[in-house]
Amino acid sequence: MVFQKPPDGGWGWVIVVVSFFTQFLCYGSPLAVGVLYLEWLDTFGEGKGKTAWVGSLANGIGLLASPVCSICVSSFGARPVTIFSGFMVAGGLMMSSFAPNIYFLYISYGIVVGLGCGLLYTATVTITCQYFDKRRGLALGLISTGSSVGLFIYAALQRELIELYGLDGCLLIVGALSLNILACGSLMRPLESYGSPPSEKSCVDKVPDQYFAYHEKEKTVEENISILEKGYVDERCVNTPDNKQDCILNKNVLSSINVNEKDTYKKKVVEQTNFCKQLAKRKWQLYLNYWEETVVLFKNKVFSALFVAILLFDIGGFPPSLLMEDIARSANVNEDDYHMPLISIIGIMTAVGKLILGILADFKWVNTLYLYVTTLIMMGLALFAIPFAKSYLTLAMLSAILGFLTGNWSIFPYVTTKTVGIEKLTHAYGILMFFAGLGNSLGPPIVGWFYDWTQEYDTAFYFSGLCVSLGGFLLLLAALPCWNACAKQSSKLPPNTYSYKVA
């Protein structure tokens, strides 16, 4: 398939719109799962740590399975994957309305919905990158706000649906809304050239001989011997015994085939066996090179600190978006004071943070690594302040701050690129996203377990603040310019090793 040059417009803006609504529809409920979390606590009566696994799996499984999602989109295309994943998300939400226990929700909501969201995220990003080149940053920024807007709207929507139709009715309606992903997927026209395909003969002629398992002539030699001897000749001799003379004639013809052709075929088989062995060695060498490059990446102290920072950030920074509503209930906040769900505040401020931090990262005088470190340290301080918030106003202010700082996801690719270089971005970013998904999956259950042990959230968010702050300080320590000076004085860096240079 021959792809056209990215048009940077035209039908690409349709792709941006449908990708925005795809992320809006698929991530709205999982990101606003904190509203459902309260209902599941009351319905099933399980501990907070065990119940928090549902939302953490829904948000983390997509990142953990990001390599599988990429392979699916590369193999089948964005449109089929989007349509299939739309059925997954809608089906998982609808099945969750019939959940008899919390373990059923681990599968229906946590794994099915989470994996569907991961596939949809990969599909929308991939097809947007195919349609845009010069305006790719703008296009990706627009579609990424779909999840934040979805969090803002779905938090209030799910709460209203629960009051009107109950938890089961809410999940059924939200699942039905997710079926609109199928309409969005149908508009994701693949970017390809629609010229006349080359003829079969020309395609075959372009393939070198060494890539054929055997030639047609040699195929005739071997297969005709087996077919004619075991099939045609025997059948004719049995069914028409009067034609014995013809049978003898056919056998004589087969025996007269040149023996050199059989020898040639055997030589070709040996050649193809060697070719397969070489191909297997190349694949194995690529596998070894992948792990060698991974080891080289972790030799970079900034990348190692970045890996620890993103893991600790998601362990400590993700739980508020899931548990903030329960925090307000545990603090005995009066429901009459609620002007807007706290999760909605986090969602809208996350979108604002993505845009503002992304704009700041484009300025040449701004060091993106130090900007990212600043967001981590500030988030750690905000998490430390949660136990002291006892009113709706203070919790709303902290939710706005946490939401804005969570928008540092928009500058994380910048930081990764500056750390390892553009040529290793894909490899490094895949590793970091895996550990980000691991942190998303572990963070809320850990905070819930702290509550189950202590019957309060204070210790849990002291722990969360410590995790995020520790990751920020480790990253800052690894990025100090004095390390580069010491490294230059001691010895030269090994080849393919990258060090972060302060702008």
What is the token pair recorded at 194? 């629609």
Burial class (CB in 10 A: 0-12, 13-18, 19+), 289: exposed
Kindly report, residue by residue over 230-247, the tens digit of the pLDDT. Answer: 444 444 444 444 544 555
According to the model, what pLDDT value does residue 201 have?
Answer: 42
Band of pLDDT at residue 290, cut at 50, 70 and 90: low
According to the model, what pLDDT value does residue 353 have?
Answer: 87
According to the model, what pLDDT value does residue 495 have?
Answer: 46
Band of pLDDT at residue 210, cut at 50, 70 and 90: very low
Contact by Cβ (8 Å): 407, 354: yes
pLDDT value at 350 more than 70: yes
Domains of the chain as residue ranges with CATH = 1-191 (1.20.1250.20), 300-484 (1.20.1250.20)
Kindly report, residue by residue over 26-40, the tens digit of the pLDDT. Answer: 998 898 888 898 899
pLDDT value at 268 more than 80: no
Q: Which of 107, 127, 108 is nearest to 119 (CA)?
A: 127
**Is residue 257 helix, strand or coil?**
coil
* Mean pLDDT of the chain, nearest integer: 77
Furthest-apart CA pair in the chain: how many Å? 105
Q: Which of 72, 52, 57 is nearest to 107 (CA)?
A: 57
Query: Which residue would you say has higher pLDDT here, 263 or 47?
Result: 47
Q: Could you give the percent of the chain with pLDDT greater than 90?
A: 23
SS (H, E, C) 69-132: HHHHHHHHCHHHHHHHHHHHHHHHHHHHCCCCCHHHHHHHHHHHHHHHHHHHHHHHHHHHHHHC
pLDDT value at 499 more than 70: no
Section 345-362 average pLDDT: 83
What residue has token string 């953490």?
56
pLDDT value at 413 more than 80: no
pLDDT value at 469 more than 60: yes
Section 241-258 average pLDDT: 51
